Each structure stands twice: as C-alpha cells, then as structure tokens.
Amino acid sequence: MRLARRVEALVPSITLEVAARAKELVSAGRDILSLTLGEPDFATPAHIRTAASQAIERGANRYTPVCGIAELRAAAAADLSAVHGVTIRPEEVMVSTGAKQCLFNALQSLLDDGDEVLLPTPTWPSHAELVRLAGGVAVLCPSTADSGFAIDVELLRRKITPRTRLLMLSSPSNPTGTVIAEATLRQVVELLHDHPQLLVMTDDLYRRLVYAPGRFVSLLALDKALWGRVVLIDGVSKSYAMTGWRIGFCAAPRPLIAAMDKLQGQVTTNAAAVSQHAALAALLGDQAPTAQMVAEFDARRRIMLAALNAIPMVSCVEPLGAFYCFPDVSAYLGGKAPDDVELSRYLLEEASVAVVPGSGFFAPGYLRLSYAASVPLIVEGVRRLAAGLAAVAAAS
C-alpha cells in the first residue's frame, strides 16, 4: 500500500521502541527492569476520580463545545493568569486531548511549508516531529552538559533567518530536567525585542514538578507585553498523574484560538467530556496530592542522581524539574557499543535494564532514566546499569 509521504517521513519514537522490546523480553520470561516511563507511577488523586464518577452519573455523555466546557476554560484561564502574571481570558484558552494535541493544533495553525522553528535541544522528540508534520523546519539549537543544558541564546540569534517564525521553549525539560533560569529568559526577552516577527511557544507541562533550588519562571511574567506573541502549552497529565485522561490546555491570542477551534472541530471535536470534569477538579481541588508527589519525586531524584554520579566515568547534571536524569555515558561508547542506541540495546539484552538512548532527544552520548519508579526499582535499575557499563568497558 502506498502511504502518505508526511506519515512515511515521521520518525518512530525510540522510547516506544525500547519499551516494546522490553515487553517482548518480559513475555519471554526475562526479568527486565524498565526506567523508561514518561508518566507518574501514582494513582490519580481520589477527589479527581470522584469528580469524574459524579460527572458520569450526572450524564456528562454529550459532545461539549469544541474548545471545552466553560468552567474548565475559566479555571485554566485563572490558573494560567496567576502563574504568568497577565490577564488571560477564558476565550483565550482551548482544551484539547492532551498537551500533545495542543502542540499539534497550534503548529498546524501557525506554520506554512518551510517556516522555521528554533528548537533548543536536547528536547522531547515530538516537538520536532510535530513541527515537521506541519510542514515546518525544526532548526536544532544544541546545548551541552557543561552549561547545565542552558539554552545558548547567542546560537538562537545566529540561527534566525527571514523564514524563522517561532521559538519553542520547554521548562522543565524532558529529557534533561533543566529548568530555564531567569537570566536565560531575560536574554530570550531581549532576543524577542530585537526580532518582533518571532512568536514563542512554551511547553510548560512539567512546571509543577520542580525541586529546590529550581524555580519555574514565566517568560511572560518577565515581560507582560509579550502576551500576543506567546502560545502557552499546559495541562494536567504529569502533575496530577492524569496521563491517560488526555487533557491539555493551550492559551493564546484569540485569532489562533479561533483557528485551532476550526481545526479541532474537524478532527476530534472536543476532549472527552468526563476527563474535562476530572481536570476541573484537579485545578480547583486540593493541591496536597501534587505536593506529596513532588516531595516523593524529589527524594527519588536525589537517590538516582547520587547513584549515577557514583558510576565511574558517568556524569549527570542535577535535574531540577520533571522526573528524568540524563547522564553522559559517552566514555563507554566504542567497541561493543559504538553509540548510545547500541548501548541501550546492550543494556537491555545483557544487563536487563531498559533506558532510552539520548539520540532520541537529539543528544547522542546520553541516556534518559525516569525516576517515576519506586526507590527499590531505581536502586536496582542503576545497579544493573553500572554492571552493564562495566561489562561493556571490559569487552571493548
């Protein structure tokens, strides 16, 4: 069968590939330990589940407005206004099926063929794939561990061309856990002043999962006048253990919301009605479960980071947000494992631990480990990693 070029050109997710192979090995009876999970390993808080059950009983079985139920748009607008220090009206918020659909809607509605998007890396692969799917060109702007993966704003400046339409930021970052520092954001503000044609999209999905001394800083809060050029991507998936409920929010100027309304109206109509009521309870209800989750992630983060940095020739920048560590394992490459993709295969097959290669995030030489796993799993997983690396070194 001949398939459309735009789908043929999509790069499959390495994370899913590793996870699928790990499952195969488990089915074959192997004891595989996976540190690949990109979602909290907690249950959705009880009050959110109750709100969803009540919504079902009340009969939330119909289509909703395309942009979402009014109460949820209002609650998200209030929450985002408080975080970003500007007045965001409910009409400037759209509810979609996960932050992923928000990104899809926004990029499809903004980009024409050949429009360039500045994309600081390492980053989540879907950022680049969704840009390409919309006909855009993802212009990768690498950063390294030496700077703690700080965005190189001078590099962004050099990569701007007459076709540059958009800058994409994501803080905290998947995969590095880096939280963009205020000083860096101030440089970004300057860049935006110098290039008034540029729009900026911020994927803030992990903003509630931040650990001291990290602090989420909003670009908009630094310069309120940027509202009108900023597209905010947000949602409940990661901070309320709601990945499967599929609710995300996009806040943007009205013309973009209207375009996305038109687009989504032809694609999925509305995000699931019951999930919207659950997300409403998440935003308006008790925030203590999220605080507990953050405390638990913080404890696990310290354990994983210390264990990784104790492995000879491995170094890991301290992640201050999200739930990933991103160690540099380049010293182990060559011989048995010429690159990080081969290394992660070797670790899975020979050391029974599943981790994601950094190449999947445009950062060869690194591995991504998720600490959305219990402490015993983290300890045993990193022990297997260390043993696998030692075996690779001995065999090379």
Chain positions 303 to 342 lying near ligand PLP, rule: CB under 6 A, are none
CA distance 321 to 262: 35
Nearest distance in Å: CB 243, ligand PLP: 5
Q: Does 98 bind ligand PLP (CB under 6 A)?
A: yes
**Residues 18, 33, 35, 38: which binds ligand PLP (CB under 6 A)?**
38
Nearest distance in Å: CB 296, ligand PLP: 19
Instruction: Tell me whether residue 165 or residue 246 sits nearer to ligand PLP (CB atom).
Output: 246
Nearest distance in Å: CB 346, ligand PLP: 25
CA distance 63 to 381: 44
Name the percent of the chain in helix, strand, coil, to the closest 5.
50, 15, 35
**Residues 77, 99, 256, 279: which binds ligand PLP (CB under 6 A)?**
99
Instruction: Tell me whether residue 238 or residue 300 sits nearer to ligand PLP (CB atom).
Output: 238
Instruction: Tell me whether residue 99 or residue 256 sits nearer to ligand PLP (CB atom).
Output: 99
Instruction: Tell me whether residue 37 or residue 307 sits nearer to ligand PLP (CB atom).
Output: 37
Q: Which residue is nearest to ligand PLP (CB)?
A: 98
**What number of chain residues touch ligand PLP (CB under 6 A)?**
13
Query: What is the DSSP code (8-state) at residue 226?
Result: G
Which residue has tokens 């700080």?
150
Amino acid residing at 117:
V
Q: Tell me the window of 26-34, 69-77, 98-106, 327-335 that interacts with ligand PLP (CB under 6 A).
A: 98-106
Q: Does 203 bind ligand PLP (CB under 6 A)?
A: yes
Nearest distance in Å: CB 98, ligand PLP: 3
Detail the DSSP E strand segments found in 46-183: 93-96, 116-121, 137-142, 164-170
Nearby residues of 141 by Cβ (< 8 Å), 6 or more positions away: 118, 119, 120, 121, 151, 152, 155, 156, 159
Q: Does 124 bind ligand PLP (CB under 6 A)?
A: yes
CA distance 302 to 208: 18
Neighbours of 132 (CB within 10 A): 17
Nearest distance in Å: CB 173, ligand PLP: 7
User: Distances from the Cα of 173 to the Cαs of 70, 103, 125, 196, in angstroms?
Assistant: 30, 15, 12, 26
Nearest distance in Å: CB 101, ligand PLP: 7
Instruction: Tell me whether residue 100 or residue 277 sits nearer to ligand PLP (CB atom).
Output: 100
Q: Tell me the window of 58-66, 92-100, 253-261, 346-354 that interacts with ligand PLP (CB under 6 A).
A: 92-100
Q: Tell me the window of 93-101, 139-147, 274-282, 372-380 that interacts with ligand PLP (CB under 6 A).
A: 93-101
CA distance 122 to 176: 7
Chain positions 220 to 239 lying near ligand PLP, rule: CB under 6 A, are 235, 237
Nearest distance in Å: CB 334, ligand PLP: 31
Q: Does 370 bind ligand PLP (CB under 6 A)?
A: no
Q: How many helices (DSSP H) and strands (DSSP E) are in the chain?
A: 14, 12
Which residue has tokens 């979402």?
68
Nearby residues of 147 by Cβ (< 8 Å), 6 or more positions away: none
Instruction: Tell me whether residue 172 or residue 388 sits nearer to ligand PLP (CB atom).
Output: 172
Q: Does 245 bind ligand PLP (CB under 6 A)?
A: no
Do 93 and 69 form a contact (C-beta atoms < 8 A)?
no
CA distance 212 to 21: 36
Contacts for 305-311 with beta carbons within 8 Å, 24 or more apart? 307/378, 307/379, 307/382, 307/383, 307/386, 308/369, 308/382, 308/385, 310/386, 311/382, 311/385, 311/386, 311/389
Q: Does 100 bind ligand PLP (CB under 6 A)?
A: yes
Q: Does 13 bind ligand PLP (CB under 6 A)?
A: no
Q: Does 178 bind ligand PLP (CB under 6 A)?
A: no
Interface residues with ligand PLP (CB under 6 A) are 38, 98-100, 124, 170, 174, 203, 205, 235, 237, 243, 248
